[in-house]
Chain A
């Protein structure tokens, strides 16, 4: 069996938390005290998400974007990022709140190509605009659909 090594040093959960808190102020990124093995939970400000993600990728070996989910919290929108590090074996969950009337956030597709279709799906379902996305178009629904079906004010009619 050929083992392929492509990674450098690994960090523990505490090291990662410490580096994030030293790099960012508590207004920008706040780490929640919810402790589970191999998980970090945090919230981030919508303007600093791109900076946080760049830091995670370049300095902390987070090389895989698992998932980008949109959530409609009725009073606001949320974008939830699950970002995984193969080397550290940690998954970090970042929750970003967006105002309901202007859901705009920086795209992380330039960092991780894997986020491309997730962000398109979030746009498709919630109408969240990802700035600097290479192709922000409908993906699961037709091009001419006028509504965003996963919003809570869109009633499914008892599917």
Chain B
């Protein structure tokens, strides 16, 4: 067969969003590829320049449907950096707990998505079933299931209740038992292993140079986690370590995410133990000073960064979003070239697609 270009997207089961991976195939082998994005571009960064600082929090939630909490969190961190605002200790712990809950929920959605990518629907329903528990936890914490609008500049909206903390502990215990079920279904399944091991090698040097962050970077054996190397909130007080796998393949990326879910459970348990009593919110100034603020944190998909410029008014002069998937996607050709057409969905699914944050 002669070489031909195929558009995998924008409407394609592989994409999990709205983007297009143009691949050149020689029979079944991918010889060249080019991601095309922009189908979901909403002009987010332009829109927020017409809004006041508190109004942007719910908009930051809408950057990513999979992990909306982390985006409003990183926005608040950036604005607090600009306003030089100190957040109460208890609010920091609550933010960490919500962050890790969001990480588990997001990773569960990723786990759900890789099942259909590889041709098995069972893991999809199992992971979605447990994600529901975490959605319920968020619902009883802040009243919303997907776009939470929970952080505030200077704290969080409301305190947790003892009942919620009890439910949280129960859910975590239950979830740890269910994790074993996923590993039985995937790790001990020879066909899953066959499809994932040794696939799409991304060396540590390549991953660092291409700006890949998050689980994909740690799956290449680089011990970098923003929570550890540039700690925000209270991560330096908690008992945890980043999850690293040295194998550089798709299976290593899978293992990193599975380990991270366990690690998140550990972080939440530790944070619940160490959480002090006290207020959860301070009042922020209405007008931000002139200057710049920058915050970054470990999103479920990698390093998310927001850079905000204040000009003394109640609206930001400029707000730049660094989306982790935006950068990881630019490295897609390195991973995809040379593999088979059948592997493209599993490779792209394994780096956890979220187009809302990518196109903004």
Contacts and interface: CB of A to CB of B under 8 A. Distances in A.
Contacts of A104: none
Interface of A: 1-4, 6, 36, 38-39, 63-67, 69-72, 80, 82, 84, 86, 89, 91, 93, 112-118, 125, 138-142, 149-150, 156, 158-159
Looking at B212, B224, B294, the one whose CB has the most chain A CB atoms below 10 A away is B294
Given A4-B222, A156-B49, 20 more contacts: A1-B241, A1-B243, A4-B204, A6-B205, A6-B221, A66-B296, A67-B307, A71-B318, A80-B307, A80-B320, A89-B229, A91-B294, A114-B210, A114-B212, A117-B330, A118-B327, A125-B45, A140-B38, A141-B38, A150-B46
B41 interface: yes
A71 B309 contact: yes
B224 A156 contact: no
Contact of B46 (A114, A115, A159): A159
B209 A114 contact: yes
A2 B230 contact: no
Nearest to A151: B46
16 contacts: A3-B244, A6-B205, A6-B221, A63-B208, A67-B320, A70-B320, A86-B222, A91-B296, A93-B294, A112-B209, A113-B211, A114-B209, A118-B327, A140-B360, A142-B38, A159-B43
B26 to A, nearest CB: 23
B305 A67 contact: yes
B112 to A, nearest CB: 27
Contacts of A125: 45
Interface of B: 37-38, 41, 43, 45-47, 49-50, 81, 204-205, 208-213, 221-224, 229-230, 241, 243-246, 292, 294, 296, 303, 305, 307, 309, 317-318, 320, 322, 326-327, 329-331, 359-360
Nearest to A111: B209
The 9 closest A-B pairs by CB, nearest first: A114-B211, A69-B320, A4-B221, A67-B322, A140-B38, A117-B330, A113-B210, A140-B41, A159-B47
Given A86-B224, A117-B330, A159-B47, A2 B244 contact: yes
Given A63-B208, A86-B208, A114-B209, A2 B221 contact: yes
Given A139-B37, A140-B38, A38 B230 contact: yes
A6 B38 CA distance: 36
Looking at A38, A80, A142, the one whose CB has the most chain B CB atoms below 10 A away is A80
Contacts of B208: 63-64, 86
Contacts of B49: 156
Nearest to B358: A140
Contact of A82 (B212, B224, B307, B309): B307
B111 to A, nearest CB: 21
A131 to B, nearest CB: 20
B38 A139 contact: yes
Contacts of B211: 64-66, 112-115
B208 to A, nearest CB: 5
A40 B322 CA distance: 19
B326 A149 contact: no
Contact of A113 (B50, B209, B294): B209
Given A63-B208, A82-B305, A114-B210, A159 B50 contact: yes
B318 A2 contact: no
B307 A150 contact: no
B222 A140 contact: no
A55 B360 CA distance: 33
B327 A117 contact: yes
B307 A116 contact: no
B294 A149 contact: no
A2 B245 contact: yes
A140 B37 CA distance: 6
Nearest to A90: B230
Contacts of B224: 64, 86
A117 B81 CA distance: 26
Contacts of A140: 37-38, 41, 359-360
Nearest to A158: B50
A116 B230 CA distance: 24
